[in-house]
Amino acid sequence: LTGKMSGYSTDEKPNTLKEITNYNNFYEFGFGKEDPASYSGNFKTDPWSVEIAGLVDKPGSYGVEDIAPDSALEERIYRLRCVEAWSMVIPWLGVPLAGVLSKAGVQPSAKFVEFQTVLRPSEMPGQAQKLLDFPYIEGLRLDEAMNPLTLLATGLYSEKLPNQNGAPIRLVVPWKYGFKSAKSIVKITLTDRQPVSTWQKLQPAEYGFYANVNPKVDHPRWSQASERRIGAGLFAGRQETLMFNGYGDQVAGLYSGMDLAKNY
């Protein structure tokens, strides 16, 4: 797979494929960072369809190749900041979500977008063990979903998206903590009500709907002021976390006038 270069890419050095594919939070396959790489081998991603539902003109089931044809892929090298205060740089291949939604015809009453991850406990040991309240749900405000940074990824480096990274199609929202970027998506619902995400439901005091990367708003149990870049070496120390993960120029306007300490 290849993708057109994009002006939204960072020029920071991407993490290696080995790092990106062996250090994952994907509780569908277990709590451990290496569990997704170890236990996602039996996960079947072909055939796959994504249902686009709710307040759209053309609801229905779409194949991955309809949503993100190989010829339309862009390469987006994005920083990824996990809520656990580590970060990576990942060269995604994907298409902007905005185009996909526009094609489906977003109705004027739609205000939010809800994403649902596949529920398949027979192939996902973490789901079989009920590690979280599955299926995994995430959500964005419509203007966040339509922002040109917001991506539906189907590949990384020149490969099809590996199972442990959310194959065959996942969300990437680079200015928010990683858990917002739902993986292995089977349903996208346009709605007029703010979705309740899985983490928000589990621990509302710790995980809000917005989950924007914000060095000034700490997680109640740990600081978000700095982060450790995976792959930087034993003695690299920490780097400062940037507001909106460094994507403020593109997204700060979405939140003007909002109290981000309240809307965390």
Partner 1 sequence: MAIRSRGFIAAWIWRRITEMIRKLNGYLRRIPVWAVWLFGLVPLALLIWDTLMGGLGVDPIADLEHRLGRTALYFLIAGLAVTPLLRLGRLNLMRFRRALGLLAFSYAVLHVLVWVVLDMGLSWGQMLGDLVKRPYLTVGMLAALALVPLAVTSNNWSIRKLGGAEWRRLHQLVYIAVPAAAMHFLWVGKVAKPEPILWLGVAVALLLVRL
Window contacting partner 1 (CB under 8 A); options: 47-55, 95-103, 141-149, 220-228: 220-228
Q: Which of 9, 22, 194, 250 touches partner 1 (CB under 8 A)?
A: 22
Write down the least CB distance from residue 31 to partner 1, Å: 6
Q: Residue 1 or 225: which CB sits closer to partner 1?
A: 225
DSSP characters for the chain?
---EE-TT---SPPPPHHHHHHS---GGG-SSTTHHHHH-TT---SS-EEEEEESBSS-EEEEHHHHS-GGG-EEEEEEEE-TTSEEEEEEEEEEEHHHHHHHH-B-TT--EEEEEE---TTT-HHHHTT-SSSSPEEEEEHHHHHSTT-EEEEEETTEEPPGGGT-S-EEE-TTB-GGGS--SEEEEEEESS----HHHHH-TTT--SS-B--TTS-BTTB--SEEEETTS-TT---EEPPGGGGTHHHHGGGGTT--TTT--
- Quick one: 108 or 234, whose CB is closer to partner 1? 234
Tell me if 223 contacts partner 1 by CB under 8 A. Answer: yes
Q: Which of 1, 53, 132, 260 binds partner 1 (CB under 8 A)?
A: 132
Residue 215 binds to partner 1 (criterion: CB under 8 A)? no
Residue 63: CB minimum distance to partner 1, A: 33
User: Among residue numbers 33 through 52, which ones bind partner 1 (CB under 8 A)?
Assistant: 33-34
Closer to partner 1 by CB, 27 or 29: give it: 27
Size of the site for partner 1 (CB under 8 A): 28
Give the shortest CB-134-to-partner 1 separation in angstroms: 13
Note whether 135 binds partner 1 by CB under 8 A: no
Q: Which two tokens stand for residue 3?
A: 């993708």
Q: Which position among 119, 128, 205, 236 is part of the footprint of partner 1 (CB under 8 A)? A: 236
Neighbours of 30 (CB within 10 A): 21
Residues that bind partner 1 (CB under 8 A): 18-19, 22-23, 27, 31, 33-34, 83-84, 86, 131-132, 202, 218, 221-223, 225-226, 228, 230-231, 234-238
